[in-house]
């Protein structure tokens, strides 16, 4: 295998003015991303300090163990640390609107994100994936396809391994899941192929409106690489750049990559060619057909062979907390979609069913307008069990149009669902909200759901 090597010191100097002699870098945020950035800078001999507004960030002990000589400021943003910084490398979880960051930038400090550092130092092609929903699934699908095709592949970013921890000279392909927060601070990505899967209201506690959120997502297309666009999403299809290589996917229309039906049999198609039967995809919901089509479009754009892509899809079992069938008990199917932390994800989950379900929803709506959830619930839910801080917002939006039950937490919601469900029903946890009002993460919420289901009397 040929090693792909970039002179990292030269790349950092040319792209960002970063060097070991004159740069004073402040890493803002001591989470997974901040820790990976600190390790990277340390390996390059570049001076840095780390600041975190939390008194004891969860990874502080790991940070001090890895980098015992690092200057670390916690419990607030140290003003002096910002004053002397020539560069700020800001973690995705920290808003660029923070006063300390705004002031430092105004005084000349350059703001960089870890994705740009990777892009400058990576010698292999990058595929970049974003969207309100489905990005982890598509990222993992494409990673499986590339590995099936025999490529030495590194998969990470917003999913799993932080971007800079992926860097290695023998990597032939980088596949990155990117959030809007990561894209805010990304300028030089120039991915070989990139996609915005969809846009739905999300993170409106960080953005003024959906248009601003969409603009940040659109940054993934900066450069000259292939664009993969969702023909079913008007906000996404409007991102097309004339003169660029563009592929489209759709489950509703005849895009280049689309879903076609022959009677009751569905097929994943490229133009007029059948690639595989929908029934061969071992995932629930039509939105997962869209995810598979997006992954195939990206794989095609970077030259993966059809046989490897379809073989990988036929073996793909999906990700935890994403339309995950937990159990079938007493004829009732229980599905964990706790990762549905916004309206679009919940709507996609509901629309994937042909029969009405019992929906468990609620949590922290992050400023989203719950009225946008109403049409899908009215069509696809026979009843709704609401929980969490913003459960009342969903109740208000529904205005009595669907039977509503209330639960103090997800475990109680499971008990209520078991009482009202009939044989043949599906109970779907798809909250349309974040989990942090009651749980540490969507994973903990999903685990509590699964535990409660398994504890039901068989």
Question: Rounded CA gap, 61 and 59, in Å?
Answer: 6
Residue 296 in contact with residue 311, Cβ under 8 Å? Answer: no
245 noted as active-site residue: no
What Å distances lie between residue 455 and 8, 323, 332, 414, 449, CA to CA? 53, 20, 14, 10, 10
Q: In the prediction, which pLDDT does 204 show?
A: 63
Q: In the prediction, which pLDDT does 285 show?
A: 80
158 noted as active-site residue: yes
Q: In the prediction, which pLDDT does 220 show?
A: 97
- Is 2 annotated as ligand-binding? no
- Is 132 annotated as ligand-binding? yes
203 noted as active-site residue: yes
- Tens of pLDDT, residue by residue over 422-431, are 999 999 999 9
**Confidence bin at 241 (pLDDT 50/70/90):** very high
Q: What is the mean pLDDT of residues 344-370?
A: 93
What Å distances lie between residue 84 and 18, 68, 100, 323, CA to CA? 15, 22, 12, 48
- Is 133 annotated as ligand-binding? yes
User: Choosing from 203, 258, 380, 448, which is the catalytic residue?
Assistant: 203
**Confidence bin at 383 (pLDDT 50/70/90):** very high
- Tens of pLDDT, residue by residue over 149-189, are 999 999 999 988 999 999 999 999 999 999 999 999 999 99
Q: What is the mean pLDDT of residues 309-313?
A: 98
If one compares 282 and 169, the residue with the highest pLDDT of the two is 169
User: Choosing from 87, 135, 219, 380, which is the catalytic residue?
Assistant: 135
**Confidence bin at 5 (pLDDT 50/70/90):** low
Segments of 166-245 assigned E as strands: 173-177, 193-196, 226-230
- Is 441 annotated as ligand-binding? no
**Residue 262 exposed, middle or buried by CB count within 10 Å (0-12, 13-18, 19+):** exposed
Residues 6 or more apart from 56 whose CB is under 8 A from it? 74
Domains and CATH numbers, the chain: 8-112 (3.40.50.720), 116-315 (3.40.1190.10), 324-454 (3.90.190.20)
């Amino acid at each position: 295998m040929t090693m792909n090597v970039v002179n990292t010191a030269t790349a950092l100097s040319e792209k960002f003015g970063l060097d070991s002699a004159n740069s004073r870098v402040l890493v803002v945020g001591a989470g997974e991303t901040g820790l990976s950035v600190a390790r990277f800078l340390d390996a390059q001999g570049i001076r840095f300090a780390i600041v975190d507004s939390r008194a004891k960030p969860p990874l502080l002990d790991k940070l001090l163990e890895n980098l015992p000589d690092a200057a670390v400021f916690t419990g607030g943003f140290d003003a002096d640390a910002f004053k002397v910084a020539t560069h700020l490398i800001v973690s995705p979880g920290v808003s660029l609107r923070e006063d300390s960051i705004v002031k430092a930038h105004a005084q000349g400090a350059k703001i960089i994100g870890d994705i740009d550092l990777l892009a400058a130092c990576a010698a292999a092609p990058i595929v970049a994936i974003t969207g309100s929903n489905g990005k982890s699934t598509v990222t993992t699908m494409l990673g499986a396809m590339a590995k099936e095709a025999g490529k030495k592949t590194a998969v990470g970013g917003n999913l799993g391994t932080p971007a800079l921890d992926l860097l290695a000279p023998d990597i032939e392909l980088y596949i990155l899941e990117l959030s809007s927060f990561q894209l805010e601070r990304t300028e030089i990505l120039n991915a070989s192929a990139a996609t915005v899967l969809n846009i739905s209201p999300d993170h409106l506690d960080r953005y003024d409106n959906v248009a601003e959120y969409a603009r940040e997502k659109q940054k993934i297309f900066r450069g000259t690489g292939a664009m993969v666009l969702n023909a079913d999403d008007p906000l996404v299809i409007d991102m097309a750049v004339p003169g660029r290589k563009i592929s489209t996917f759709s489950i509703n229309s005849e895009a280049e990559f689309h879903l076609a039906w022959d009677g009751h049999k569905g097929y994943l198609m490229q133009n007029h060619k059948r690639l595989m039967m929908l029934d061969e995809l071992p995932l629930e919901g039509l939105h997962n057909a869209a995810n598979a089509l997006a992954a195939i479009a990206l794989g095609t754009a970077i030259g993966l062979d059809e046989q490897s892509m379809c073989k990988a899809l036929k073996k793909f079992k999906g990700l935890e907390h994403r339309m995950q069938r937990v159990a079938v008990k007493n004829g009732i199917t229980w599905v964990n979609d706790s990762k549905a932390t916004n309206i679009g994800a919940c709507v996609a989950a509901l629309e994937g069913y042909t029969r009405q379900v019992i929906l468990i929803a609620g949590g922290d709506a992050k400023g989203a307008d719950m009225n946008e959830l109403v049409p899908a619930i009215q069509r696809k839910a026979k009843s709704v069990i609401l929980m969490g801080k913003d459960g009342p917002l969903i109740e208000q939006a529904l205005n009595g149009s669907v039977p509503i039950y209330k639960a103090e937490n997800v475990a109680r919601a499971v008990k209520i669902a078991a009482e009202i469900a009939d044989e043949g029903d599906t109970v779907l946890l798809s909250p349309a909200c974040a989990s942090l009002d009651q749980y540490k993460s969507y994973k903990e919420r999903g685990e509590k759901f699964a535990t409660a289901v398994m504890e039901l009397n068989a």
